[in-house]
Structure 1
Amino acid sequence: MNAPASFARSVPAPSQPAAGHAGATAVGAQPLLETRGLTIRFGGHVAVNAVSCAFRPGELTCIVGPNGAGKTTYFNLVSGQLPPTAGQILLDGEDVTRLPVSQKTRRGIGRAFQLTSLFPQLSVLENVRLAVQARRQRGLDLFSMWTSHRDVQAQAMAILERVALAGKRQLTVASLPHGDQRKLEVGILLALQPRVFMFDEPTAGMSVDEVPVILDLIREIRQDRSKTVLLVEHKMDVVRSLADRIIVLHNGILVADGDPAEVIASPVVQQAYLGMPEEEGSHG
């Protein structure tokens, strides 16, 4: 289903982030990540339909839309969990469309859930340590002496401190509550040091007290002007506080792309795509 005709009158054309925004990228910067006509079909259903979008260094883009809009499927295509039916994925101008997850990770596309589920019976510290080793290409020898990798262990501990899990370092991943598992996912992503950070609802399932830890880490990452951050998020307070740019998907189609305030203010976006009631006489 195509977007309503009134949508084109309500939503601005794609634009650069507003000048002066804390994470705004430089005008004219070359895209770090780009999708061109990215499409996937499951039988007769088109889950992502010809999505073309460029993401630049120093930019945090929030991807929003109702359930079933294609947001997570789009992430799965970019990160390599799903092969596209058509279209391209470019990283630094190089076609990486058909590369598997492991190759895309090595090239710098990082997604938060990629490694934690692989080692549920290992400790929290061992999971992060393995991610650090993978990035350094030291191999994944679990039985090597800890003393030969003191720097790796030290870095892993520093990451656990950042995600507030140092006190649970000896617990197995399987024993962690959901909120702590989400924090560990972010920790592993930090250990991999990607150029493109992909977060799919990173605060889902977390308590109110846990959420600031993750949001502060994402803010810290976006200060690095060489990194690109993509964030799927339903919580509009999180979107407003973090986004340099918002893109809206609906039925797998890219229907809006632009400055957060302008996109959020659109009555059509608020009512039809974000599930927010339209406020009479207000576009704020």
Structure 2
Amino acid sequence: MLETEGLTIRFGGHAAVDGVSCAFHPGTLTAIVGPNGAGKTTYFNLISGQLAATSGRVRLKGRDITTLAAPRRARLGLGRAFQLTNLFPNLTALENVRLAVQANSGRVLDLLGRASRHRDLADRAMAHLAAVALADRAAAVSATLSHGDQRKLEVAILLALEPDVFMFDEPTAGMSVDDVPAVLDVIAAIKARGDKTILLVEHKMDVVRALADRIVVLHHGQLVADGPPAEIIASDVVREAYLGGAAEAGHG
């Protein structure tokens, strides 16, 4: 479904991501881990189009998308949730998700149109809000939501876009303990469908153990380990040098 080949980006003389080749398959959840500065989020940015690669390739469903802008990649089925929320702050939670449903349906966006014309869109939007336990906050302006609720809203928007590839960049970062299960349950439900490809940057190893089919470890921008969770976690070198740092620290 998704593949990177020799993917590299250099900032001056520093390779933040250095020749990473990796393939991701439908029905699997791959956790991408590593200590601070390992290149995890930069790798995500290269895949989703927020950054342009210095060299290497990104392929989606066999198509070379390396030179395509982020919006075009999204329309082709690449969905991304960010470390920082990416919402329309002055619209309600429902309006944010309805716009995503509407965009995915191919209908002309019409914020001023009569709601009755788009009742099915609103109903679908409400279903996505319910999936992330936000139905009771549908009428709230997104800027007024707590950080945890904003993160859940972004996941609802991603669900509404119905991508083939879901990319979650530390989806539980900054959430309260009470908020975390709702998002993890949604990710588990997407995985259970068996037809989606999921990439997860996460530093909480209990989350990785619970969800991942596979762990990819980055360090200094290079892929240093790739395999089943039990095998990777059991590796003394990887656990001590990389997973230990990732479990204790934050962003990559």
TM-score, reference length from structure 2 = 0.95
State the secondary structure of the residue aligned to 2:73: helix
State the secondary structure of the residue aligned to 1:66: coil
Q: Which residue does 2:240 correspond to in 1?
A: 271
State the secondary structure of the residue aligned to 1:83: coil
1:83 aligns with 2:41: no
1:207 aligns with 2:156: no
Deviation at 1:117, TM superposition (A): 2.7
AA aligned to 1:69 is A
Contact 2:83 2:169 in 1 (8 A): no
Aligned partner of 2:65 among 84, 92, 96:
96
Q: Which residue does 2:249 correspond to in 1?
A: none
Q: Which residue does 2:138 correspond to in 1?
A: 169
AA aligned to 1:95 is D
State the secondary structure of the residue aligned to 1:117: coil
Residues 1:135 and 1:78: Cα distance change in structure 2 (over 3 Å): same
Deviation at 1:142, TM superposition (A): 0.7
Contact 2:86 2:154 in 1 (8 A): no
State the secondary structure of the residue aligned to 1:223: helix
Larger-Rg structure: 1
Q: Which residue does 1:140 correspond to in 2?
A: 109
State the secondary structure of the residue aligned to 1:156: helix
Q: Which runs of 5+ in 1 are unaligned?
A: 1-31, 277-284
Separation in 2, partners of 1:92, 1:161:
31
Q: How does 1:56-205 map to 2 (within 5 A)?
A: 56-113=25-82, 117-205=86-174
Q: Which runs of 5+ in 2 are unaligned?
A: 246-252
Q: Which residue does 1:220 correspond to in 2?
A: 189
AA aligned to 1:97 is T
Identical-pair percentage:
67
Contact 1:116 1:188 in 2 (8 A): no
- Paired residues, number: 245
TM-score, reference length from structure 1 = 0.84
Residues 1:247 and 1:116: Cα distance change in structure 2 (over 3 Å): closer
Deviation at 1:113, TM superposition (A): 3.5
Separation in 2, partners of 1:220, 1:159:
12
Contact 2:87 2:154 in 1 (8 A): no
After superposing on structure 2, the runs of 4+ consecutive aligned residues of structure 1 that deviate more than 2 Å are 113-118
Q: Which residue does 1:25 correspond to in 2?
A: none
AA aligned to 1:153 is A
Q: Which residue does 1:28 correspond to in 2?
A: none
* Alpha-carbon RMSD: 1.4
Separation in 1, partners of 2:85, 2:112:
19
Q: Which has the higher helix share?
A: 2
Separation in 1, partners of 2:19, 2:32:
16
Q: Which residue does 2:17 correspond to in 1?
A: 48
